[in-house]
Structures are given as C-alpha cells and as structure tokens.
Amino acid sequence: MGETLPELAVRYSRAWAAHDPKLIAAMHTEDSVFHLHDIGPPAEGRAAVQDLIASLLAVVPDVRFQPIRAHFGTDHFVTEYVMSGTVQGRSFAIHGADVFTIRDGLIERKDSYLDWVAYSRQTGLEAVLTAPSAS
C-alpha cells in the first residue's frame, strides 16, 4: 500500500523544516504548479517550483511553520498554519493556508494563501518575491 495523504503531508512538512528546496520539489510532479498567491505568477514545472522555494528560503532563511489544522480528501488536502521567520532583521508570524492537489502520490498543485497585510504590518515591508517563469 502507498503512502497515505496524512503521511505525505508530514513528510512534506519535514522537508520544509529541513529547508531543502530539492527535497521539497522532489515531492511535486514534473508538471506541478505552485502558486504563492498575491506575490507573482505561479511556478510551473518541478524545476520552477524548486527555484520558487529556493527564492522564498533566501528571503526568509529561518522560515518555520506551526501547524494548526489539516483537512484530508481523496486526492487533496488543506493545511492551516502560522508561518514565522525573520526578513531583513524583522520578525513576523502570519496565518496561512495551503491547498494541495495530489496525483500518483505527488503534489500536482499547491496554492498558498498568506496574510500579506499582517506581514507588511509586522515587518514594515511589502511582500515581494520574484517567481521564476516557466521555460
């Protein structure tokens, strides 16, 4: 029997905790889409997903995720969390939610929704991250 969605979610969370873009991206399909909403266009394809994750980790190298809840369906799951870290010497802790679509045991699509208003209030910075374009 293959990995359950809760097991996949835990493994994915551990990869993020390890701050390893290659390990995280390996859990995505080759044609995966990762859309960090309100920041830029979606990253399309595993290589672009890895680049987007690396960009995020470069901006917030100490990023952490404190889980709140997870909701599981047959081919998808949704996680709620508090994302925290430090950017340009300023700490933040904001709420977020991710919607994952799963195909053949891998992440086919990830849509992330973060509280960018709270981020700006806490850091005094505008949320800016350049997503790589699809090749």
Distance of alpha carbon 123 from alpha carbon 22, whole angstroms: 28
Is 80 exceeded by the pLDDT of residue 1? no
Instruction: Identify each DSSP E strand in the chain by its residue range.
Output: 28-36, 43-44, 64-72, 76-87, 90-103, 106-114
Domain boundaries, the chain: 5-123
Q: What is the mean pLDDT of residues 4-33?
A: 97
Q: How confident is the model at residue 40 (pLDDT cuts 50, 70, 90)?
A: confident
Residue-wise pLDDT tens digits, 85-99:
999 999 999 999 999
CATH fold label, 5-123:
Nuclear Transport Factor 2; Chain: A, (3.10.450)
Tokens matching residue 38: 């309100």
- Per the CB < 8 A criterion, the answer to whether 86 and 10 are in contact is no
pLDDT at 133: 42
- The H or E element that residue 60 is part of is none
